[in-house]
Structure 1
Amino acid sequence: MPLLDRNFNLSQRMTQELGRQIVCGVFDKDASLPTEAELCEKFGVSRSAVREAVKMLSAKGLISSKPRQGIRILPREQWNIFDTDLLRWSLESNPSMKVLKEFLQMRIAIEPEAAALAARNATPEKIDAIEAALERMRAAGDNLEAELEADIAFHVSILYASNNRFYIRLRDFIETALHVSIRYTSPIKANHEAVVEDHAKIFNAIKNRNPERAKHSMLLIIDEALNFIEEELTAKEQS
């Protein structure tokens, strides 16, 4: 029985499934992956589909394939963790608090400065986009999924408003990771109005062209989430 649906691009579907299994630790990291023939049988695909999937996963830094060495999983240090597929697989596999802590540390290095740049550089249209996301958050009420999507749109809109191509290029990384991390950090404030108000402070600082206040307001909400994760890690270590 083929594992993958033949109505889809088999090499892409196989890339997704095999990549997810590698990231989730299904395979022994110190051993070779199954052979081409074994992968063909396991996934119900042709050798060409297997080879294309191997090529895609090699480009992501997950594996290497060499004659007489087989297909091997590369050390995690070589994985392209900014690749959105790889990031999604990591976060879908019950991410550890350590991974979430590292992500929040990354956000602290990026988003406060992006907010400051947005206060300096945002066009009226991009300020409107941030405000629209904020209003969606406000209107979401108890609809957690709607609030999550609006929250992500708010943060991504600020990256665009920074008018810095390097920050903008981080949009996929931020968006993909936020989909999971907000679910873990949202218990910090069970108060919907308080969450909206914290984001409104960032928006108002950007709209009023106050870079330092925008930077500080963004830093506060990420630092609060980071403190929550660090408390969870400490509690686990002590238990």
Structure 2
Amino acid sequence: MIPSPGVSLTHSLLERLGQSIVMGTYDTAPFPTEADICTRNGTSRTVTREALKMLTAKGLLSARPRLGTKVEPLSRWNLLDPQVLRWLTRRPLTPDLILEFNQVRLAFEPMAARLAARHAGQGRDPAALQTIKQSLDLMIRHHEDRALSIHHDIEFHGHILEASGNPFYRQLRPLINTALTLSISLTSLARDPSDSHNDHIRVYNLIEAGEGPAAEALMRDLITKAIAVIIEESPNLSRRTS
């Protein structure tokens, strides 16, 4: 196995094994032994053991004496780990997982919008407000390029977390980005782009005006609508269980 430039052998192996686990390669097959991994990937025992330790720390693997190494169920994975989240975006869609991610959004994004509005009303961190506006403008400007518009839509929500001023919310950004990446391509199909743009404009205007409770209520309404679409469209998604 030849790693990409600037990527160590350990992290290259970690990436390969982590993706394989999350993609379900070992859902119905035993996880390979340390010796098998070394042989298949051309890595040393030291590199292999370090990669396995990292996967264990992320909750993807567990090792027990005489029982060997096994893949843990998704419920035990460290779902706040940025690498695990990135691997999840490549996993076949499951209605339950998409729904659960958006339930997390519902728990945090409305309050983030309220806090961002409070800070805007107090004149704090105008640069953070400007980044929200820039993402909004780019999302609308590139409406004919769906992938690019979605990219800026995700940035819009991420910048609201940043503008909340809450350091815990800032660290939730990878989680929220993943939730949006998994679901927005589905939910955006259920609405006219102009309707979605108008809703995002209203959220921004409320934040800029310092209308915290109204911004919170509107953000909650938008996510609730997205969840309703996910539930309605779930028969069309993969029913593959984790």
**TM-score, structure 2 as length reference:** 0.88
What amino acid is the match of 1:179?
T
Aligned AA for 1:94?
P
Which residue is 2:240 aligned to?
none
In structure 2, distance between residues paired with 1:176 and 1:208: 29
Whole-Å Cα distance in 1 between the matches of residues 66 and 30 of structure 2? Answer: 11
- Residues 110-138 of structure 1: CA distance to partner in whole angstroms, max 9, x if unpaired? 10111011111242221111111111111
**CA distance in structure 1 between the aligned counterparts of 2:231 and 2:114, rounded to whole angstroms:** 26
The CA deviation at 1:65 is: 2.7
User: 1:42 — aligned with what?
Assistant: 40
1:191-210 alignment runs, 5 A limit: 191-210=192-211
Deviation of 1:223 (Å): 1.2
Which residue does the alignment assign to 1:223?
224
SS class of match (2:130): helix
Kept in 1, the 8 Å contact 2:105–2:179? The answer is no
Question: Helix, strand or coil: the match of 1:64?
Answer: strand
Which residue is equivalent to 1:173? Answer: 175
Q: What secondary structure does 2:63 align onto?
A: strand
Residue 28 of structure 1 deviates from its aligned partner by 4.1
Higher relative contact order (CA 8 A, sep 6+): 2
Counterpart position of 1:87: 85
Show the counterpart of 1:56.
54
Quote the offset at 1:78 in angstroms: 1.8
Given candidates 135, 138, 144, the residue that maps to 1:136 is 138
- Secondary structure of the structure 2 residue equivalent to 1:92: coil
Residue 234 of structure 1 and its aligned partner are, at CA, apart by 6.1
Shift in Å, 1:186: 1.2
Contact 1:142 1:192 in 2 (8 A): no
Q: How many residues align?
A: 232
Root-mean-square deviation (Å):
1.9
Deviation at 1:39, TM superposition (A): 0.4
Q: TM-score, normalised by structure 1?
A: 0.89
- Partner Cα separation in structure 2 for residue 12 and residue 167 of structure 1: 28
Unaligned runs of 5+ in 1: none
One-letter amino acid of the counterpart of residue 219, structure 2 = M
- Cα separation, 1, equivalents of 2:179 and 2:232: 20
Q: Does 1:16 align with 2:18?
A: no
Moved more, 71-80 or 154-163: 71-80
Counterpart code for 2:220: L
Per-residue deviation, 1:67: 4.2
More displaced 10-residue stretch of structure 1: 106-115 or 139-148: 139-148
Out of 90-99 and 72-81, give the one that drifted further: 72-81
Using the alignment, how far apart are the partners of 1:49 and 1:235 within structure 2?
Answer: 42
Separation of aligned partners in 1, 2:73 and 2:182: 24
| Cα separation, 2, equivalents of 1:162 and 1:221 | 18
Identity across aligned pairs (percent)?
A: 38
Contact 2:4 2:12 in 1 (8 A): no
